[in-house]
Homo-oligomer: A and B are copies of this chain.
């Protein structure tokens, strides 16, 4: 079950140039800034109530974020919904025939995650996530075997 908007992902050309607007003009609190080498992005997480804005800057030229920036320019990239059981929700969606980018969950910035395919929902890119501490309670032995 989806419980809330976990974050909204925004693709930017340069986090350094974007931060003054999001942090200083909008007044959102920056709580994490990191380079995620294996995903080829720099990410800045800013708190807004119980949710976050996730600024994403590509640091390589051959990943989804870089291609999005080249094709569409800066802007809203995805919405991430928090699930109380991401494995069950992924299984339910696949059973309903929903087109997925990720056929199995993986670890991302927001916890245990999977992306739906934009074809599934009118061109909007949607991510599901479950924070890792919550996930570990349901899956103490780690992720279930991929089927």
Contacts and interface: CB of A to CB of B under 8 A. Distances in A.
Contact of A79 (B1, B8, B74, B122): B8
Give the oligomeric copy count: 2
Given A1-B27, A21-B122, A49-B4, A76 B73 contact: no
Given A76-B79, A93-B25, A5 B49 contact: yes
A107 B72 CA distance: 31
B124 A10 contact: yes
25 contacts: A2-B48, A3-B48, A3-B49, A4-B49, A4-B50, A4-B51, A5-B48, A5-B51, A8-B8, A8-B76, A21-B120, A21-B121, A21-B122, A25-B93, A25-B96, A26-B126, A48-B81, A49-B82, A50-B50, A73-B123, A74-B124, A75-B118, A76-B76, A76-B78, A76-B125
A18 interface: yes
A42 interface: no
Size class of the A contact interface (CB-based, 8 Å): 35 or more
Interface string A64-85: 0000000011111111011000
